[in-house]
Amino acid sequence: MSKKLKQIAIYGKGGIGKSTTTSNISAALAEAGYKVMQFGADPKADSTNTLRGGEYIPSVLDLLAERRRVDAYEAIFQGFGGIYCVEAGGPQPGVGCAGRGIITAVELLKQQRVFEELDLDYVIYDVLGDVVCGGFAVPVREGIAEHVFTVSSSDFMAVYAANNLFKGIEKFSTAGGALLGGIIANSINTDFQREIIDDFAAHTKTPIVQYVPRSLTVTQAELSGRTTIEAAPKSEQAEVYRALARRIADHTESKVPTPLGPLELREWSAKWADRLVEQERAAA
C-alpha cells in the first residue's frame, strides 16, 4: 500500500517571513527523514534560495518561455537534505496574471505524475498571500493542499492579509476547498504582540500553531544563503522551527475560519491602537 502524500499551503503577506518559515519547516521535515518538495508559488521565484545555498533556480514559467514543451524534472532541483525545490515563477512586471505561474506549474507536475514518481511524503506550497486572487487561490480552491497555514505577525497589514485568506477559505469550503490549520505567529517577541495575535485568533476561531520570535540567528543564516536548521542546527531558533514542523506533521484536522467583516476588522484594530496609546502613556 502506497503512503499518503500530505500537501500543505503556507500563505502570508510579502515580507512577513513566509518563505523563511516555509524553508525551515521543509528543512526540519527533511532532517526528520521525510521526502519533501517545496513548491515556491511567489512570482519573485525566491522561495527555495536558502535551501540551495542562496542559489536561484529557473522557474517553470522561465523554462516555458524558452520552449513550448518542458519535462517537469527540468524544473526540479535538489537542495538541503535532498529537498526537491520547484519555483512556479511569474510574468514580467506589468504583464499578465501573477497567479498564472502557480496554475501552470501545478498542472505540469500533475500531468507528468511527478508527485507519485518521487514518492514524496510532503509537498509544501509557499504562496504569496497579499492578494488571494484566482491564481494564488489555486492551492485552496482546487483542494490541492489539504491544510492551509498562514504566517502573520501582530502588524495590522499582516493581520489584514490573513483575514483576507480566511475569507477565501470560507468561500471555497463548501466546494471541496482546503481548510485552515492555523496561524504561525511570526516575529512575536513581546507580551503585547502576543496579546494582539491571540485576540485576532480568538475572534476568527483559529488556533495558533506556533509562536516564532524574531531572531538575529535567522538573519545570519539567510545572509549565508541557508536555513536556520542548516546554519545553526543547535540554536534555540532551530528548535522552534523543529517544534513547528512536528506540529504540522501531526496536524490532521483543519477547519473553516470565521473571518472578520470590514467594519469588525476596523473596530478591532482601533481598539488595539487605543490600548497601545494607553500603554505608552502609562510607561511615560
Active-site amino acid positions: 13, 18, 44, 130
* Nearby residues of 201 by Cβ (< 8 Å), 6 or more positions away: 182, 183, 207, 208
The three cell numbers of residue 233 are 542546527
- Report the Cα–Cα distance between both ends of the chain, in Å, rounded: 65
Q: Is the alpha carbon torsion for 160, 25, 38, 219 positive or negative?
A: positive
Q: How far is CA 178 from CA 88, 237, 253, 255, in A?
A: 20, 29, 11, 9
Beta bridge partners of 78: 84
Q: How far is CA 268 from CA 154, 160, 271, in A?
A: 12, 11, 5
Find the radius of gyration of the CA atoms of the chain: 19
C-alpha angle 77-218-183 in degrees, rounded to nearest 5: 85
Is residue 213 within 8 A of residue 189, CB to CB? The reply is yes
- Helix or strand or coil: residue 82? helix
